[in-house]
């Protein structure tokens, strides 16, 4: 029992010393790594990806993605690198260190600038909210806690450790990821609206993504992403605020003209 108490105390201390606040939403976060270190990891990952994946030579796709990203990042500040990768996956991402990647498959899927802005805005939202640092910190804390527990009497039972690992995966890491995804959806919806993109198209985008997935999505409690229906509902609930921001942006002359 003494060893178990020590393990719980050590885990609690790790959590308390790593508490932070999401700069975009005010939600409490677990941030245990220096942002500079996470940024460097993002730069390394982006550099490696550019060596592994071909970059598209399609000038229209490049211009389309760069135009949208420029309008969005004017609202966030900083210098962002944008690369369009030749890949049919329906994907885009943003990494710490202000790096944005867009796949040609996603560009082919979207109908207009607003739908692609919804995805890129979502990905930028992850960076602004320090989600990569939060996820890395969560995993580091989980591994450290598991290591401490393995030194206790409780941790000598392989079945117990297995259940603890399963509990950490489905009870901590995955739910946090769904929280982050929902945050990024709302941040992205607001960001695209502030940049002058129609936030109503964020809902259209996820309807298209749902159709493209053809129902091939795991049960929500076993997924790191919310179900398509869940995120559509959340975006719809937040739409009145986003539309107000969009109308303000339009009145201020922010009217992007990014042609696919």
Name the E strands within 52-191.
Answer: 81-85, 92-95, 99-103
Q: How far is CA 47 from CA 50, 83, 131, in A?
A: 5, 11, 20
H/E element, 46? helix 35-52
Indicate which residue of 81, 123, 181, 189 is catalytic.
123
Q: Which residues contact 167 (CB under 8 A, 6 or more apart)?
A: none
Range 133-154 burial, b when 16+ CB lie within 10 A, else e: bbbbbbeebbeebbebbeebee
Name residue 95's beta-bridge partners.
Answer: 99
| Whether residue 236 lies in the annotated active site | no
Entry field: residues in the chain: 260
Residues involved in catalysis: 123
């Amino acid at each position: 029992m003494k060893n178990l108490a020590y393990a719980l105390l050590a885990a609690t201390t790790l959590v308390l010393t790593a508490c932070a606040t999401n700069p975009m939403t005010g939600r409490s976060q677990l941030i245990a790594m220096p942002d500079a270190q996470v940024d460097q990891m993002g730069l390394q990952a982006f550099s490696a990806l550019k060596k592994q994946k071909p970059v598209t030579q399609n000038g229209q796709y490049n211009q389309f993605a760069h135009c949208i990203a420029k309008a969005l990042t004017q609202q966030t500040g900083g210098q962002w690198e944008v690369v369009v990768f030749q890949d049919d996956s329906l994907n885009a991402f943003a990494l710490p260190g202000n790096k944005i990647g867009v796949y040609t498959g996603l560009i082919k899927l979207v109908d207009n600038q607003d739908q692609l802005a919804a995805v890129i805005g979502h990905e930028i939202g992850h960076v602004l909210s320090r989600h990569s640092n939060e996820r890395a910190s969560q995993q580091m804390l989980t591994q450290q806690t598991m290591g401490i527990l393995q030194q206790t009497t409780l941790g000598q039972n392989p079945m117990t450790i297995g259940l603890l690992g399963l509990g950490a995966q489905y009870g901590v890491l995955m739910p946090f990821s769904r929280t982050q995804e929902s945050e990024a959806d709302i941040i992205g919806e607001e960001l695209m609206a502030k940049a002058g993109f129609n936030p109503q198209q964020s809902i259209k985008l996820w309807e298209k993504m749902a159709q493209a997935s053809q129902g091939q999505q795991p049960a929500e409690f076993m997924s790191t992403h919310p179900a398509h229906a869940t995120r559509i509902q959340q975006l719809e609930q937040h739409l009145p605020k986003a539309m107000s921001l969009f109308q303000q942006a339009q009145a201020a002359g922010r009217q992007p003209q990014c042609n696919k």
